[in-house]
Homo-oligomer: A and B are copies of this chain.
Amino acid sequence: MDPIVIVGGDAAGMSAASKFKREHPDRDVVVFEKGEYVSYAACGMPYYIKGAVEEFDDLLQVSPEEFIEDRDIDLRLHHEVVDIDTDAREVTAETPDGAVSLSYDQLLIATGARAIEPPFDGMDLDGVHTLHSLDSAKAVHDLMDSGSVSAVGIVGGGYVGIEMAEAFAEHGVDVHLFEMLPHVLAPFGEMVAEKVEDHMREEGIELHLDTAVDGFTGDGDTLDGIVVGDDTVDVDLALVGVGVAPNAELADDAGIELGETGAIATDEFGRTSAEDVFAAGDCAEARHVVTGEPDYVPLALTANRAGRAIGQTMAGDETPVGDIAGTAAVKAFELEAARTGIIDEDAARDAGFDPVSVTITASSRAHYYPGAKPIHITMLADRDSKRVLGAAMVGREGVSKRIDTVAAALHSETTVGELEYFDLAYAPPFSPTWDPVLTTAKVLNGKLD
């Protein structure tokens, strides 16, 4: 029988390979990976550059040798798949030793996403980086460690931009962050963004909001400034993190259907439009638990669990890849920010809801317990169904996992009234009697009457 073939050796691909192999140790699983790293912790890169993660190797979760020797997966590094023939059920990869073709029984496309490279002048100057791979992280890490950098410009105020601001600041350099939109962290909403911005300014980050970067200037081949209109901000290192785009071209070229988001369209089991071809991770869409519609939110957990589910489905036990809620958390210096579901009123209306929202401030611990900190929460519900649609929160503690209670509520289509009566944990060091999530639900429910 032809092997299971997997294109891409990161979270989704290796999860699927491992799961399938556990179910069918006798079947062959071939993974083509174009680079030399597999299953690495991309989300850990900012903390490596910061110096909080000391060893580069700590970012490598499972080594190629372990996959090959312990898990008996036929992992082929430096193999870039350039063609999929869904009629012939065959893929072709370019390798250092020429092209190879291989027939598949079932195929998983797990090609991930890439950092978007905006068409700025000077993108190719020395000193301009994107954080698109472990190698790029290593390069930036070594530059910061060398002590040669005194001012850094970050282009983009998303997760990567926020985390990198903290990482750079740790090195004592001047940090400028440029964001085209009026606020950083767009998916977290304005309330959270403003708290994060205030805090970043307190920490000495120079924020340039509502500011479109025009490009970079160089002294010869070497970056020396970021151009914004008529101004130039002197920097000797620039990090461009303006988002990612799905690596969907390979699938598109093979005639596999893409969704409206530009990522590969999939059904609830991760199947694409081509027979026996699956897609998962940062190259694929997933179904949003609130809207029921396809969405593109490339995050690590989504890739891992979809890969695992598809491995199980390919092994004969049909398993849905799971819906996404867009649940996310980010650390910004001393602040934690988190979000889940739909928190933007326009997005809620576009999805057919009649959104009602509240924003409250509650305490992370009993008010009398030392160290209690404010938590700011925005929660959205649908006026008609009273269903919880999403929430965002920010504070110095107790935020990143409190959002999970709301995420759980989204998966169960909970109403605000139901959420208000969830029996959540209380002890003075950890929560007020009414947990902030309950208090928010209580206030929101009052507004729905």
Contacts and interface: CB of A to CB of B under 8 A. Distances in A.
Interface residues of A, number: 69
Nearest to A304: B433
A428 to B, nearest CB: 5
A421 interface: yes
A320 B420 CA distance: 11
Contact of A340 (B11, B331, B398, B425): B425
A423 B400 contact: no
Interface string A408-449: 111110100010111111111111011101100000000000
Contacts of A289: 423
A327 B438 CA distance: 14
Contacts of A302: 423
Given A325-B423, A427-B330, A433 B366 contact: no
A435 B301 CA distance: 9
Contacts of A300: 426, 433
A228 interface: no
Nearest to A317: B449
Contacts of A330: 427
A308 to B, nearest CB: 8
Contact of A53 (B320, B368, B423, B438): B368
B430 A407 contact: no
A307 B322 CA distance: 39
A425 B404 contact: yes
Residue of A401, A424, A437 contacting most chain B CB atoms (<10 Å): A401
Contacts of A169: none
A68 B421 CA distance: 28
A254 interface: no
Contacts of A367: 58, 61
Nearest to A302: B423
Interface string A343-368: 00000000000000000000000111
A245 to B, nearest CB: 21
B400 A411 contact: no
Contact of A47 (B52, B369, B431, B437): B369
A326 interface: yes
Interface in A40-56: 41, 43-44, 47, 52-53
A79 interface: no
Residue of A47, A59, A409, A430 contacting most chain B CB atoms (<10 Å): A430
A188 to B, nearest CB: 12
Interface of A: 11, 41, 43-44, 47, 52-53, 58-59, 61, 289, 299-302, 304-305, 309, 320, 322-331, 336, 338, 340, 366-370, 398, 400-405, 407-412, 414, 418, 420-431, 433-435, 437-438
- Interchain residue pairs A-B with the least CB separation, the first 10: A412-B412, A322-B421, A408-B408, A400-B430, A58-B368, A329-B425, A325-B423, A329-B427, A404-B405, A404-B424
Given A43-B428, A320-B421, 15 more contacts: A41-B368, A44-B366, A53-B369, A289-B423, A299-B426, A304-B433, A304-B434, A322-B421, A324-B423, A401-B405, A404-B425, A408-B408, A410-B423, A411-B422, A412-B412
